[in-house]
Amino acid sequence: MNPHERLMAFLEGRKEDADRLPVWCSTRTFTLDGMKIFDAYWPKAHKDPETMARLAAGVYELTGNENMSVPFDMTLEAEALGAPCEYFEGKIKWISVKRFIATDIYEMDIPEDPSEFAKRGRIPVCIEAIRILKKKYGGKVPVTGIVTCPLTSVGGYLIDPAEFHKYMIKEPERIHRIYETLNPYYAAVANAFKEAGADVIVFTEEGASLDNISPKHFDQFVKPHLTELIGMVKPPRVLHICGSLISRGLEVITSMIDCGAEAITIEERTPMSEARKIADEHRAGYVIGGNVDPYNVIHNSSIDAIRSRVKKVVADGVDMVSPGCDYWIETSTEHIREFVNAAIEYGTPPRWKKEED
Amino acid sequence: MAENVLKRLKEAVLNYDVEGAVAVAKEVIETGFDPLIAIEQGLGEGLSIVGAKFEAEEIFLPELMIAAQAMKESLATLEPALAKGKSRKVLGKVIIGTVEGDIHDIGKSIVATMLTVNGFEVHDLGCDTPTSKFVEKAKEVKPDIIGMSALLTTTMVKMAEVINALKKVGLRGQVKVIVGGAPVSAAWAEEIEADAYAEDAMACVDVAKKLLSK
């Protein structure tokens, strides 16, 4: 099985067919090593499709990580709605918004036709980069398109988060209005990625973890609207939320599963064994990815520690081994390679085949 | 009546009812009730419960932010009515801001709010705060503590700039400096000669209390 066939087996409900667990990055793929070796530095790699493709594929080329994904940050959709972005020419820095431009949906720059939206900002760059990647790697290594969902995108980059969070209590209809208005536009981005050849769309909604909002607000705002958004895009789809998803008797894992994606991916602050248990009780065998700490473990620990962490995550019931978020930018190629190798070693054969033996 | 006002002020905060809290605050003024008691035993009690609930993850950001607004707006009504020479008891005065070039505001706002609900008088300078603004505000309010947040490795250096500026105007010895934010660490705090590093909002409250008890 090649990496594409293997990941698709997991995302198409036939994980029993797989020879081993996939090892991929369910969020964004870039490293400083990749920038140097493939001459694909930020900010050029955000703006030029060829450079973006080289950087996205770099992690696979250098380490064997089994996917490549674009874009490299979370401001893509917000910028297309009018958020002024700073690219830090000459430096390697994450794109940052210069100021918050809106307090409500009416103050955002929204085109009439959702299909027009995919022509804005850096979205066409991502679409073209996906085409380039698909042409070169199609059917061999999966290509991932990432969509940052409305709550995170708007509440992080368009509206001042301190004010945005108050609306959840003071003016809930404002939050509903934002999601309802924007969903067709964000779906248009996902569908444009798919048309260009993306094998999987990962929806990220980082702002919806228990670090920020209650499970009650998750079910009131996030669940119905993400269900609608995910429903507008053809499978396979993955929902990723960073941050804590299980805490002190509270959890949003079941609600995440209910949003309708084929899989969810989680980060290291959500314990895999607990997520596995909750998921199995809700929907037995539901596909979960994650959740090795990209900074403290993969970047900053010894090879032995990386290996033992991967072993533990596999034993705890992960389906698709992944860092909890993007590989930390400074992580050495060697560390990612060891992470990938450990996942291949401990993920072969998958646990359901072991159980049969 | 007195008990009623205190109870209603506390409940307005606990119900995240900004308008309700302000209405009770106005009633306090109109009826001649002691605003200091209203602040300390009504508002204050409500807020300390909110703080404890946030710490226990019983409530989350939206609730915390609204409670903070309820307090801020009722204080705006109550404080001007305090008798001369009287002021609400505060653990200490804090100036807080995200440093220049950095618009990451939410983490800093949580810290500011948790300091406030735990009894500090907080002057929040917001985000993208120029070094000169930290210094001017320090001259004006004579804080016990200056808190700085940075979420980017490239803006962390501004923390050192603020500390140096405080030294230049001779204020460094009079304030404690706490730094925090994702890329910030205890080692960084030491390097730039800050007094302390705080990992999150609760840690910052503890650190602030410790620094002032020294």
Which residues neighbour A208 within 8 Å (Cβ) at sequence distance 6 or greater?
A: A149, A151, A152, A218, A222, A241, A252
Q: Domain total for chain B?
A: 2
Query: Smallest Cα–Cα separation from A3: which of A32, A29, A23, A25?
Result: A23
Total CB pairs under 8 A between chain A and B: 52
Residue of A nearest to B108 (CA): A162
Query: Are B208 and B111 in the same domain?
Result: yes
Query: Are B153 and B199 in the same domain?
Result: yes
Q: Among residues B34, B53, B81, which one ends one of the domains?
A: B81
- Please report where in the chains the tokens 């993920």 appear, as a residue: A347
A110 Cα to chain B: minimum distance (Å): 24
Spell out a b/e string for A180-189, using b for 16 or more CB atoms within 10 Å of the CB, else e: ebbbbbbbbb
Question: Rounded distance, CA A86 to CA A178, Å?
Answer: 24
As for the ipTM of the complex, it is 0.85
- Please report where in the chains the tokens 């980082």 appear, as a residue: A206
Query: Are B70 and B48 in the same domain?
Result: yes
Report yes or no on B87 lying in a domain. no
CATH number at residue A294: 3.20.20.210
Q: Which amino acid is at A34?
A: G
- Please report where in the chains the tokens 């803006």 appear, as a residue: B155
Report yes or no on A356 lying in a domain. no
Question: Rounded distance, CA A222 to CA B12, Å?
Answer: 27
Residues 4-63 of A with CB under 8 A from B: none
Query: Are B119 and B149 in the same domain?
Result: yes
Query: Are B199 and B122 in the same domain?
Result: yes
- Helix residue ranges per DSSP H, B81-146: 106-117, 131-141
Q: What is the pLDDT of residues A202-241, one digit of tens each?
A: 999 999 999 899 999 999 999 999 999 999 999 999 999 9
Which residues neighbour A335 within 8 Å (Cβ) at sequence distance 6 or greater?
A: A298, A299, A303, A306
CATH number at residue B75: 1.10.1240.10
Tokens of A37: 């070796």
The pairing of beta strand A237-241 with beta strand A263-266: parallel
Report yes or no on B166 lying in a domain. yes
| Residue A82 φ then ψ, to 5° | 115, 0
- Among B15, B61, B110, the strongest candidate for a mutation testing the A interface, having the largest count of A CBs within 10 A, is B61
Tokens of B101: 């070039």
Residues of A in contact with B65 (CB under 8 A): 162, 165-166
Q: How confident is the model at residue A356 (pLDDT cuts 50, 70, 90)?
A: low
Contact A162, A92 (CB under 8 A): no
- Rg (chain A; Cα; Å): 19
Q: Among residues B57, B81, B105, which one ends one of the domains?
A: B81
Q: Residue B1 has what pLDDT? A: 58
Report yes or no on A357 lying in a domain. no
Query: Are B67 and B113 in the same domain?
Result: no
Nearest beta carbon to residue A210 from set B18, B57, B63: B57
Query: Are B194 and B133 in the same domain?
Result: yes
Question: Rounded distance, CA B4 to CA B20, Å?
Answer: 14
Q: Which amino acid is at B179?
A: V
> If you count them, how many residues does chain B have?
214
Statement: residue B128 has pLDDT above 90: no
Tokens of A300: 């900053």
Residue A213: which domain range? Answer: 3-346
Statement: residue B2 has pLDDT above 80: no
Q: Among residues B26, B47, B81, which one ends one of the domains?
A: B81
Contact A144, A68 (CB under 8 A): yes
Q: Where would I find the beta strands (DSSP E) of A141-199?
A: 143-148
Report yes or no on A354 lying in a domain. no
Using the beta-carbon criterion (under 8 Å), do A214 and B152 form an inter-chain contact?
Answer: no
Report yes or no on A253 lying in a domain. yes
Residue of A nearest to B58 (CA): A214
Q: What is the pLDDT of residues A59-93, one digit of tens each?
A: 999 999 999 999 999 999 999 999 999 999 998 88
Q: How confident is the model at residue A355 (pLDDT cuts 50, 70, 90)?
A: low
Report yes or no on A352 lying in a domain. no
Mean pLDDT over A88-111 rounds to 93
Query: Are B71 and B98 in the same domain?
Result: no
Query: Are B27 and B56 in the same domain?
Result: yes
Question: Rounded distance, CA A178 to CA A238, Å?
Answer: 22
Mean pLDDT over B97-104 rounds to 84
Query: Are B19 and B99 in the same domain?
Result: no
Query: Are B38 and B144 in the same domain?
Result: no
Statement: residue B85 has pLDDT above 90: no
Distances (CA, A) of A209 to A85, A171, A218, A253: 25, 20, 8, 10
CATH number at residue B158: 3.40.50.280
Q: List for chain B the helix, strand, coil content (%; round to 5).
A: 60, 10, 30
Residue B197: which domain range? Answer: 93-213
Q: Domain total for chain A?
A: 1
Q: How confident is the model at residue B103 (pLDDT cuts 50, 70, 90)?
A: confident
- Please report where in the chains the tokens 């403290």 appear, as a residue: A296
**CA terminus-to-terminus distance, chain A:** 21
Whole-number mean pLDDT of chain A?
96
Cβ of residue B129 closer than 8 Å to a chain A Cβ: no
- Among B14, B15, B57, the strongest candidate for a mutation testing the A interface, having the largest count of A CBs within 10 A, is B57
- Please report where in the chains the tokens 């036709």 appear, as a residue: A113
Q: What is the pLDDT of residues A254-282, one digit of tens each?
A: 999 999 999 999 999 999 999 999 999 99
What's B151's DSSP letter?
A: -
Nearest beta carbon to residue A97 from set B59, B61, B103: B103
Using the beta-carbon criterion (under 8 Å), do A166 and B154 form an inter-chain contact?
Answer: no
Q: What is the DSSP string of A206-231?
A: GGGSTTTS-HHHIIIIIHHHHHHHHH
Tokens of A72: 């490299």
Q: How confident is the model at residue A357 (pLDDT cuts 50, 70, 90)?
A: low
Report yes or no on A176 lying in a domain. yes
Q: List for chain A the helix, strand, coil content (%; round to 5).
A: 50, 10, 35
Report yes or no on A330 lying in a domain. yes
- Among A91, A92, A94, A170, the strongest candidate for a mutation testing the B interface, having the largest count of B CBs within 10 A, is A170
B109 Cα to chain A: minimum distance (Å): 7
Residues 239-278 of A with CB under 8 A from B: 247-248, 250
Report yes or no on B86 lying in a domain. no
Q: Regarding predicted confidence, which is higher, B211 or A94?
A: B211
Question: Rounded distance, CA A213 to CA A21, Å?
Answer: 32
- Please report where in the chains the tokens 């998921």 appear, as a residue: A279
Report yes or no on A353 lying in a domain. no
Using the beta-carbon criterion (under 8 Å), do A217 and B59 form an inter-chain contact?
Answer: no
